[in-house]
């Protein structure tokens, strides 16, 4: 068997930044802007207040900055809080095949280390490209079964990604980078299940940032770990995935694992350094679980077909939407097993309920972080639509696709199909859309002139000599 752990460590350490594809470098540059925007959208959220309160109380204070907040913590805990903020609103990014949200922990690490060691923007971009690429390929190698049996890939792959990104930022040699990989994987965790819809989902990303950076810092001092942590005896691949044609308990029943979903470590090296998975990262236009995004596109088109605009008064919206007599959403069949409860008790749960996401967006005409609030839980129009909606699973369509069928009281039948959701690699957000996302998220924190300065700095970050300039700019 090849030494896949060593190969990944050498790739992250030795690959010449000049040979990274222009598209991969561009996606990495955009990731910094996108990651900061996502973090700003959550900077004043309840769980972030709790995190900073507890960490301050236990003495985790220091000089490292938080995005959009005034507190200063020690480096590890600041990176953890920033990693939490980046994922809390589910407004970050997705590599759809692995269901890995790459930005929160990796961006937190490059910002934290970049400011602490006074490293440059170009170093951050290259480190992100290599660390995210390596951890995505690790996720592909683990196979879909890793996610299906209950692991939250953002927590597991993100821990490895943070360690590898951090190792490149620190300039570690390949041996120490391999130690960092091993140290990260012995910590890599994160559950799915009903963690989705609670404060704990973002904590998976937070701990990925913390544990990955800790692994890199320990490795910098030659703190050792197994050098075959992926492929070795009782290594991560055997512990957290399954080979083809074996049975594995999934959702309470034994299932045979097909080859297409099973562990395949050769995927780590297939095209490594020539084909860039980082290019497939998609930035989220909507603040909800990625499985809901094609549905959001469809219901926004339905809204338009019904003659509604985002500025219409609630009375008009209610009158028009109550003319819908039937509404069926077709989604990928495997998405039916995710948390999709019709009845919810918190706004956070709504983000992972197809019924509630569709009803909220159809009613309000927007899908940003602010739409998921207490008022949505008691809105009679949203309740009407939530109870009307039916879900259907299609085994053929892929993640990022979906369709809608509606019957209207006047006899109309409306069919809407979404082949690729906005924000996927097929329909990516461009720089203008990402800039709007940043401005929207930053509006509650800074004056317009400062937001413009932040945006301009991020758009030209490859020429920034010291990332501490940026981190000071985005604190409060």
Q: Residue 339: what pLDDT? A: 53
DSSP letters of 188-248?
---B-GGGTTSTHHHHHHHHHHHHHHHHHHHHHTT----TTTTTSTT-HHHHH---TT-EE
Average pLDDT, the chain: 96
Identify the structural domains of the chain with CATH numbers, from first to last: 4-285+427-473 (1.10.4100.10), 290-418 (3.30.1330.120)
Cβ neighbours, 10 Å, residue 212 = 35
Average of per-residue pLDDT across 28-54: 98
Cβ neighbours, 10 Å, residue 183 = 25
Average of per-residue pLDDT across 319-347: 88
Q: Residue 267: what pLDDT? A: 98
DSSP-derived pairing of the beta strands 324-332 and 389-394: parallel
Alpha-carbon distances of 106 from 114, 171, 172, 263, 418, rounded to whole Å:
12, 16, 17, 24, 30
Alpha carbon dihedral 281, 191, 8, 131, in 10-degree steps, equals 40
Q: Residue 202: what pLDDT? A: 97
DSSP-derived pairing of the beta strands 282-283 and 93-94: antiparallel
Q: Which two tokens stand for residue 269?
A: 């090296």
Alpha-carbon distances of 45 from 65, 121, 133, 329, rounded to whole Å:
17, 28, 30, 31
Phi, psi of 116 (to 5 degrees): -65, -40
Better-predicted residue by pLDDT, 338 or 438: 438
Q: Residue 336: what pLDDT? A: 81
Q: Which two tokens stand for residue 105?
A: 């922990």
Q: Residue 251: what pLDDT? A: 84
Average of per-residue pLDDT across 254-260: 95
Percent of the chain at pLDDT exceeding 90: 94
DSSP-derived pairing of the beta strands 69-73 and 61-66: antiparallel
Measured CA to CA, the distance from residue 340 to residue 456 in angstroms comes to: 40
Average of per-residue pLDDT across 380-409: 95
Measured CA to CA, the distance from residue 423 to residue 91 in angstroms comes to: 11
Alpha-carbon distances of 256 from 48, 51, 250, rounded to whole Å:
41, 41, 10
Q: Residue 307: what pLDDT? A: 97
Q: Residue 182: what pLDDT? A: 98
Question: Strand, coil or helix: what is 282?
Answer: strand
Q: Residue 87: what pLDDT? A: 98
The region of weakest confidence among 55-69, 239-253, 327-341 is: 327-341
DSSP-derived pairing of the beta strands 324-332 and 247-250: unpaired
- Name the pLDDT band for 340 (thresholds 50, 70, 90): low
Note whether 69 and 446 are within 8 A (CB): no
Cβ neighbours, 10 Å, residue 395 = 7
- Name the pLDDT band for 338 (thresholds 50, 70, 90): low
Q: Where are the alpha helices (DSSP H) in 44-120?
A: 46-57, 75-88, 103-116
Phi, psi of 341 (to 5 degrees): -65, 140
Q: What's the full length of the chain, in residues?
A: 476
Average of per-residue pLDDT across 134-139: 98
Candidates 172, 169, 94, 97; CA nearest to 131 is 169
- Does pLDDT of 114 surpass 60? yes
DSSP label of 412: -
Measured CA to CA, the distance from residue 197 to residue 195 in angstroms comes to: 6
Cβ neighbours, 10 Å, residue 419 = 15
- Does pLDDT of 444 surpass 90? yes
Q: Residue 169: what pLDDT? A: 98
H-helix or E-strand spanning residue 354: helix 354-364
To 10 degrees, what angle do helices 103-116 and 153-170 make?
A: 30
Candidates 109, 119, 135, 102; CA nearest to 30 is 102
Between the ranges 86-95, 334-343, 396-405, where is the mean pLDDT highest? 86-95
Measured CA to CA, the distance from residue 423 to residue 401 in angstroms comes to: 12
Phi, psi of 276 (to 5 degrees): -110, 110
What would you report as the CA-atom Rg of the chain, rounded to the nearest whole angstrom? Answer: 22
Q: Residue 362: what pLDDT? A: 98
Average of per-residue pLDDT across 32-55: 98
Percent of the chain at pLDDT exceeding 70: 99
Tokens 């460590």 correspond to 9
Q: pLDDT for 196-232, tens place per residue?
A: 889 999 999 999 999 999 999 999 999 999 999 999 9
Note whether 92 and 104 are within 8 A (CB): yes
């Amino acid at each position: 068997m090849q030494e896949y752990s060593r190969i990944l460590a050498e790739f992250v350490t030795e690959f010449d930044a000049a040979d990274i594809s222009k598209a991969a470098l561009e996606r990495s540059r955009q990731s910094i802007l996108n990651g900061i925007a996502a973090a700003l959208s959550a900077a004043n959220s309840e769980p972030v207040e709790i995190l900073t309160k507890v960490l301050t109380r236990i003495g985790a204070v220091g000089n490292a900055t938080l995005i959009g907040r005034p507190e200063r913590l020690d480096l590890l805990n600041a990176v953890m809080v920033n990693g939490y903020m980046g994922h809390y609103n589910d407004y970050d990014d997705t590599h759809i095949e692995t269901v890995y949200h790459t930005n929160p922990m990796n961006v937190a690490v490059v910002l934290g280390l970049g400011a602490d060691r006074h490293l440059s923007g170009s170093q951050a971009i290259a480190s992100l490209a290599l660390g995210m690429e390596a951890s995505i390929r690790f996720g592909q190698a683990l196979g879909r079964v890793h996610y299906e049996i209950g692991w939250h890939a953002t927590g597991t792959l993100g821990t490895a990604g943070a360690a590898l990104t951090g190792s490149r930022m620190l300039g570690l040699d390949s041996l120490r980078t391999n130690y960092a990989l091993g140290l990260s994987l012995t910590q890599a965790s994160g559950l799915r299940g009903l963690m989705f819809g609670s404060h704990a989902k973002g904590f998976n990303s937070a701990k990925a940032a913390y544990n990955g950076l800790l692994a890199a810092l320990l490795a910098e001092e030659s703190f050792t770990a197994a050098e075959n942590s992926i492929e070795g005896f009782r290594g991560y691949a055997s512990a957290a995935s399954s080979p083809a044609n074996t049975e594995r308990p999934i959702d309470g029943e034994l299932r045979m694992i097909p080859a297409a979903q099973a562990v395949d470590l050769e995927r780590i090296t297939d095209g490594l350094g020539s084909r860039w998975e980082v290019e497939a990262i998609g930035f989220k236009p909507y603040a909800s679980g990625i499985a809901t995004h094609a549905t959001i596109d469809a219901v926004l088109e339905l809204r338009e077909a019904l003659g509604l605009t985002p500025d219409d008064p609630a009375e008009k919206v209610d009158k028009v939407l109550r003319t819908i007599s039937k509404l069926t959403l077709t989604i990928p069949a495997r998405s039916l097993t995710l948390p999709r409860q019709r009845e919810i008790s918190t706004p956070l749960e709504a983000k992972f309920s197809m019924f509630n996401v569709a009803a909220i967006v159809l009613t309000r005409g927007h899908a940003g972080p602010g739409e998921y609030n207490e008022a949505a839980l008691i809105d009679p129009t949203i309740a009407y639509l939530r109870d009307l909606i039916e879900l259907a699973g299609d085994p053929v369509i892929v993640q990022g696709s979906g369709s809608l069928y509606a019957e209207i009281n006047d006899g109309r039948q409306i069919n809407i199909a979404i082949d690729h959701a906005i924000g996927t690699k097929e329909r990516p957000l461009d720089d203008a859309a990402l800039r709007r996302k940043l401005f929207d998220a930053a509006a509650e924190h800074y004056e317009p002139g400062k937001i413009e300065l932040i945006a301009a700095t991020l758009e030209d970050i490859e020429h920034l000599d010291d990332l501490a300039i940026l981190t000071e700019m985005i604190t409060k």
